[in-house]
């Protein structure tokens, strides 16, 4: 999936690198989460770049995971939301979503990229 981040402030912001993430259950409790930086089978491993966002502008990052149990897993914990911490930020935002990544909540994230990036050919609108 591709996650869109929008600059809602009145001044430009700079993002560079990878987002942070924490999966949460339906009660808001933290689930095991392992964030792997790079690429995975649904999207390419991108080189991190700096993205400057004017007010109202957007950047993206790709997120991939496997929902197929393996190694003795019988089911994968279901997340109802996730905290996303943009690169260079100290606060997070909460996204409501439904996903059940296996292997201890392993998710693969790309670095952030702008709409004009070659990465938009992967999954970004």
- List pLDDT tens digits, range 60-86: 999 999 998 888 877 898 999 999 999
Residue ranges making up the domain that contains 54: 2-121
Q: The tokens of 60 are what?
A: 């993206």
Number of domains in the chain: 1
Q: Count of CB atoms within 10 A of residue 6's CB? A: 11
Cα–Cα distance for residue pair 96/80, rounded to 1 Å: 6
**pLDDT digits over 91-112, tens only?**
999 999 999 999 989 999 999 9
Cα–Cα distance for residue pair 23/75, rounded to 1 Å: 16
């Amino acid at each position: 999936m591709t996650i869109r981040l929008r600059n809602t402030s009145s001044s430009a912001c700079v993002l560079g690198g990878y987002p942070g993430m924490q999966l949460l259950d339906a009660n808001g409790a933290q689930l095991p989460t392992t964030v792997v930086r790079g690429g995975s089978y649904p999207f390419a491993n991108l080189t991190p770049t700096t993205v400057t966002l004017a007010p109202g502008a957007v950047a993206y990052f790709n997120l991939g995971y496997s929902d197929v149990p393996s190694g003795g897993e019988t089911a994968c914990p279901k997340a109802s939301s996730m905290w996303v911490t943009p690169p260079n930020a100290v606060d997070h935002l909460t996204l409501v979503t439904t996903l059940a990544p296996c292997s201890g909540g392993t998710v693969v994230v790309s670095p952030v990229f702008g709409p004009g990036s070659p990465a938009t050919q992967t999954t970004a609108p």
